[in-house]
A and B are shown apart, each in its own frame.
Chain A
């Protein structure tokens, strides 16, 4: 049925184009064939074959890539930098900033008193400077004494001198309890102190 239709179409088309070809001259075949070709190939082109569409390999890969990218983005968003542990000592509690705290009536200093304070500060400065100079001198003297001692030792014997120069590995770490206000009581038993440990422990 379709064959008959196509043949009929062909004849009609050829009859139509005949006078035009005569006009053109010798272009019969060329004139006829463009009309033929699409008709003839109508049957054999791929779209008319009615096959199911093939899924190309690129698509699953592309989908995979898309999914990966989404996953990475999600991970980046979840990766929050760990919060810093707050240092309780450096945070001023809000209670201290309260204005009502500063209730100590600041006494007005008389002129004499403020003068006295300034003069005492200056005297203290002088006193401390003298102390410091004395300390520095004492240390220098001690160093000089040591240097002399080492010189004499060197004159005496070389090996003793070398032995003296060696550092003492057992000396450090060196600890010594400093002076307190009252001397330690012999046979004193310190009472056990009970305390509730309320330090906050932060985990990162």
Chain B
């Protein structure tokens, strides 16, 4: 219901008086309705560009990044300042009290009747509690932040957990294998996003992703060399769609083009320069 109303709100810019809209609302979102109508009347000339859609699949960081030197310094300083300004907590007060009581017990003129104690009840010292907590923490082994082997393995999506990785596939383009974002050719009757989804599904590894929206995030135009140009094809336009990896799935099933996960800095090594400049813009290295 909420998504429906969101749809209505977003698409009702030029038609504020839309009542109980049915699915027909999908087709009435045009900002320039006139051009659409003329398009329907005039036959569309086939464009000389072949359309392809590629998916920019990102694995977002799993652990927090290491602090830079200035960040470490600042963190230390803030910790000190906060400690200075703070008050003693209940636990710390209890510790002090216990220490005082122990020192009184050790003193020569100790009178146990004076103590307003709990009598026969066993007193649990706060220090003991603290020690038991420390023991528990030590017995728990968290997973390692950095595993050197996993970092080197380019095909595993577990490498470099602190950075966001982009999936690259080696595909045959014009006869030669090239490293690029997984792409597929557009077919009639499907939207570009569906093409991108098909491109992702065609990869051997069972990767599940959430596509972020219907609009492409970037485009790469590639003009074929003069020799290969024909009447109908001048070149290709590749539209990129962003997706976020939601599930790694099982181990890569079946052969296919090799895949690798690359950080933003490493993309330069694999992609062609012109392609790289276009891709660099929308792959955020934040």
A residues with a Cβ closer than 8 A to B are 96, 101-104, 106-107, 117, 120, 123-124, 127, 135, 138-139, 141-142, 144-146, 148-150, 152-153, 155-158, 160, 162-172, 174, 176, 179-185
Distance of A107 Cα from B80 Cα, bound (Å): 11
B89, closest chain A residue (CB): A101
A91 to B: closest C-beta gap in Å = 17
Are B7's CB and A169's CB within 8 A? yes
In this assembly, does B169 line the interface, its C-beta being within 8 Å of a C-beta of chain A?
no
Residues A169 and B145 in contact, CB atoms below 8 Å apart: no
Q: Which residue of B lies closest to A134 (CB)?
A: B286
Partner of B49, one of A142, A156, A166, A167: A156
Chain A residues with CB under 8 Å of B39's CB are 158
Q: How far is the CB of A93 from chain B (nearest CB, A)?
A: 10
A153 touches B214 (CB 8 A): no
How many whole Å from A131's CB to the nearest CB in chain B? 9
Cβ–Cβ contact A166 & B11, under 8 A: yes
A101 and B216 contact, Cβ closer than 8 Å, known pairs A171-B210, A179-B162, A183-B62: no
Contact B11 A167 (CB under 8 A): yes
Given contacts A146-B282, A181-B64, A182-B142, contact A117 B192 (CB under 8 A): no
Q: Does B218 reach chain A (CB closer than 8 Å)?
A: yes
Q: What would be 23 A-B contacts, judged by CB atoms less than 8 Å apart?
A: A104-B86, A124-B74, A138-B285, A138-B286, A145-B217, A145-B281, A145-B282, A146-B218, A149-B217, A157-B47, A162-B36, A167-B6, A168-B214, A169-B3, A169-B6, A170-B3, A174-B210, A179-B63, A180-B62, A181-B142, A182-B63, A183-B143, A185-B143
- Bound complex: CA of A145 vs CA of B280, how far in Å? 10
What are the 9 closest A-B residue pairs judged by CB atoms, nearest first?
A169-B3, A149-B219, A145-B281, A182-B142, A149-B216, A163-B191, A145-B218, A185-B143, A145-B282
Interface residues of B (CB under 8 A from A): 2-4, 6-7, 10-11, 26, 29-30, 35-36, 39, 44, 47, 49, 51, 60-65, 70-71, 73-74, 77, 81, 83-84, 86-88, 93, 96, 142-145, 158, 161-162, 191-193, 210-219, 221, 237, 239-240, 244, 278, 281-282, 284-286
The answer to whether B217 touches A104, judged by C-beta atoms less than 8 angstroms apart, is no
| Nearest residue, chain B, Cβ from A98 | B87
A131, closest chain B residue (CB): B286
| CB < 8 Å neighbour of B218 from A104, A123, A149 | A149
Q: Which residues of A contact B192 (CB under 8 A)?
A: 153, 160, 163-164
Q: Which residue of B lies closest to A167 (CB)?
A: B10
* Contact B214 A166, beta carbon cutoff 8 Å: yes
CB < 8 Å neighbour of A182 from B143, B214, B216, B281: B143
Within the complex, the shortest CB–CB distance from A143 to chain B, in Å, comes to 9
Contact A104 B88, beta carbon cutoff 8 Å: yes
Contact of A164 among B2, B84, B215 (CB under 8 A): B215
Within 8 Å by CB of A148, from B74, B193, B219, lies B219
Instruction: Name the B residues within 8 Å of A103 (CB-CB).
Output: 88, 96
Closest approach, in angstroms, between the C-beta of A167 and any C-beta of chain B?
5
Alpha-carbon distance A184/B161, docked complex (angstroms) = 11
